[in-house]
Amino acid sequence: MSERESMPYDVVIVGAGPAGLSAAIRFKQVAAEKGADLSVCVLEKGSEVGAHILSGAVIDPRSLDELLPDWRDDCPLAEVPVTENLHWVLSPKKKVVLPHLWTPPFLHNKGTYTGSLGNLCRWLAGKAEELGVEIFPGFAAAEILFDEQGRVKGVATGDMGVARDGTHKGDYTPGLELHAKYTFFAEGCRGHLTKEVIRTFDLAKDAQPQVYGLGVKELWDIDPELHKPGRVIHTQGWPLGDDANGGGWLYHQANGQVSLGFVTWLNYTNPYISPFQEMQKWKTHPEIAAILKGAKRVSYGARAISDGGLQSIPKLVFPGGALIGDSAGFLNVPRIKGTHTAMKSGMMAAEAAADAILSQREHDELTAYPQAFDTSWVKKELSIVRNVVPLVKKFGDFLGSGLAGITMWAEHFGLRMPFTLKHHPDHETLWRKDLVKPPVYPKPDGVLTFDRLSSVFLSNTNHEEDQPVHLTLKDPAIPVAYDLPMYDEPAQRYCPAGVYEIVGEETGDPRFVINAQNCVHCKTCDIKDPTQNINWVVPEGGGGPNYPNM
Ligand SMILES: Cc1cc2nc3c(=O)[nH]c(=O)nc-3n(C[C@H](O)[C@H](O)[C@H](O)COP(=O)(O)OP(=O)(O)OC[C@H]3O[C@@H](n4cnc5c(N)ncnc54)[C@H](O)[C@@H]3O)c2cc1C
Ligand code: SF4
């Protein structure tokens, strides 16, 4: 018999990101409109709301306007409206500024705001709590609970106080069961439980595979003379070559800070590519380095981003729950925006759940949610850009972007392209190590460019050391027996936190080492590992990065 206690709710939400918090707020709003008292709780694995949130971010306020129309009164995001939008195409030493007229208006960032998504989530959490939402930070949902009919009936948080070898320590506390009429998975990109729920109910059977990028981000305090609040810059081109796609961003935000970073799409072919190093190299471009002259780096982090778009969205509902936000993958890639769509998806799911519960239903499929999605602005927005990622991947950065631009213009004017291009899973794209040349990366100078360990230090990441390793290997032999000879074990380079190492090669006894304490929960290993041998599971609640305002 389970020794776990259980708590009943109408709705349980896994993840206090923009999707989960917007769903909780909308659920309470609908209940209040109908004069009902419905209960909802939100679980968050970070030590506080926002601790694990990492984004650009330039945010389209469309969903905020719908959810909390007075948000501009006290939300920190309102501080910096976007005033200038630049798109640079980089060669090694030069830039070309892309004229505005070349890109459709929805890429111009008119009416958007730039700031910290972590801080927006902290603010949303306050609004949610005012409405009676219960939020549990430091609690990771570790297990999906099913009833006798196989319907999802909630989740359980992980046990605390379990030693690395699985034995119980003195402070052992069993996890808690949260039972719900409907459970929402709002874990963000590549959710750990979301993966299981998609598999269990075969939700992705009619969708294209999800594909991803890895965003590596830093915050810098820059020279006030060079700081232009509201200026946002995107770059494409250098330093990436033919074997990878992606691009950089640099946003002038509040308090003299810039948010900057680089997204490398995870379909890259050269196993020697390091997304972390691409980002460091990108900063050495004369145009970027000039902005960072005399500046100081204050924060670092990394997070994967869902790039598959409309064709990769799985079935959104299953008996007893729904997928919302990046758990389902609503990101608009050419806009690099997923916050407004994540929020709206949560709101639509919440409306469906409140209506169902008020009609005495529970644990069934919330079909009103996908129906609402089908007629929503979210679907329209994603439909217009659905061929962009496959075109860039197929035809390269320049020809691909040109063709993608043509399709976006055409769709913008209502001319629907009669095709939707497909995706290939990112873990299948690597070439053998003997077929490629390793890229050249700069040696860290400690001023503009840095190594991974000093970077991870700035993420404030922390895990209780004596706990089971949360980077699990289905077959512990594969890293050395297969990944090393084939790809020089790419985990050594794709992990932006230096978690994976091969040691002992020089003595002919190579071993795969996992420094799990350094993990910043970006999920790249779970995505890019060529044989899908690495399975990321939640560590003890509260572990992971502690981002201040990412
Ligand atoms: C580098 C980068 C740049 C971006 N730039 C922009 C931008 O400029 N504008 C924009 O609009 N969007 C941007 N995005 C996308 C945007 O950040 C996402 O679309 C958005 O955050 C998705 O919201 P979400 O709530 O679905 O997931 P998330 O924001 O990822 O939130 C998920 C939350 O769930 C928690 N969680 C996960 N699993 C569990 C679990 N098992 N138990 C408990 N808690 C759990 C996580 O800790 C996290 O707090 C960017 C993303 C990245 C990575
Ligand atoms: S171990 Fe995996 S999830 Fe953690 S930081 Fe490295 S790549 Fe990201």
Token output for 439: 């890229």
Q: Is 176 in the pocket of ligand 2 (CB under 6 A)?
A: no
d(CA 153, CA 147): 6
Rounded alpha-carbon distances, angstroms, from residue 100 to 104, 387, 389, 397, 478: 8, 21, 21, 18, 49
Q: What percent of the chain has pLDDT over 70?
A: 100
Predicted confidence (pLDDT) at residue 218 exceeds the cutoff of 70? yes
Q: Is 519 in the pocket of ligand 2 (CB under 6 A)?
A: yes
Q: Can you give the pTM of this predicted structure? A: 0.97
For residue range 457-471, what is the model confidence (pLDDT) as tens digits?
999 999 988 999 999
d(CA 23, CA 13): 8
Token output for 453: 């360990």
d(CA 319, CA 146): 10
pLDDT for 81 equals 98
| Mean pLDDT of the region 173-181 | 96
Predicted confidence (pLDDT) at residue 135 exceeds the cutoff of 90? yes
CB contact set of 481 (below 8 Å; sequence gap of 6+): none
For residue range 272-293, what is the model confidence (pLDDT) as tens digits?
999 999 999 999 999 999 999 9
| Mean pLDDT of the region 367-392 | 96
pLDDT for 100 equals 82
Confidence of residue 1 (pLDDT cuts 50, 70, 90): very low
| Mean pLDDT of the region 252-270 | 97
Q: Is 186 in the pocket of ligand 1 (CB under 6 A)?
A: yes
Q: How far apart are the CA of 303 and the centre of ligand 1, in A? A: 8
| Mean pLDDT of the region 48-77 | 97
Shortest-distance Cα residue to atom 18 of ligand 1: 338
Q: Which residue has the tokens 């106080």?
A: 161
Residue 55 is a catalytic residue? yes
CB contact set of 473 (below 8 Å; sequence gap of 6+): 479, 533, 534, 535
Q: Which residues on neighbouring strands pair with residue 257, listed in sequence order? A: 221
ipTM exceeds 0.90: yes
Residue 525 is a catalytic residue? yes
Q: How far apart are the CA of 175 and the centre of ligand 1, in A? A: 25
Confidence of residue 221 (pLDDT cuts 50, 70, 90): very high
Residue 495 is a catalytic residue? yes
For residue range 83-93, what is the model confidence (pLDDT) as tens digits?
999 999 999 99
pLDDT for 165 equals 92
Predicted confidence (pLDDT) at residue 2 exceeds the cutoff of 70? no
Run of H or E residues at 182: strand 177-185
| Mean pLDDT of the region 232-261 | 95
Predicted confidence (pLDDT) at residue 497 exceeds the cutoff of 60? yes
Confidence of residue 415 (pLDDT cuts 50, 70, 90): confident
| Mean pLDDT of the region 235-248 | 92
| Mean pLDDT of the region 207-222 | 98
Residue 62 is a catalytic residue? no
pLDDT for 166 equals 92
pLDDT for 250 equals 98
Confidence of residue 241 (pLDDT cuts 50, 70, 90): confident
Q: Which residue has the tokens 């990028």?
A: 213
Predicted confidence (pLDDT) at residue 153 exceeds the cutoff of 80? yes
Predicted confidence (pLDDT) at residue 141 exceeds the cutoff of 90? yes
For residue range 306-363, what is the model confidence (pLDDT) as tens digits?
999 999 999 999 999 999 999 999 999 999 999 999 999 999 999 999 999 999 999 9
Residue 303 is a catalytic residue? yes
pLDDT for 488 equals 97
Residue to mutate (ligand 1; options 26, 160, 187; most atoms within 8 A of CB): 187
Shortest-distance Cα residue to atom 4 of ligand 2: 519
Confidence of residue 413 (pLDDT cuts 50, 70, 90): confident
Average pLDDT, the chain: 96
Q: 391, 380, 384, 382: which is closest to 409 by C-alpha? A: 384
Q: How far apart are the CA of 409 and the centre of ligand 2, in A? A: 37
What is the pairing mode between strands 296-306 and 95-97? Answer: unpaired
Q: Is 52 in the pocket of ligand 1 (CB under 6 A)?
A: yes
With beta carbons less than 8 A apart as the criterion, state whether 66 and 344 touch.
yes
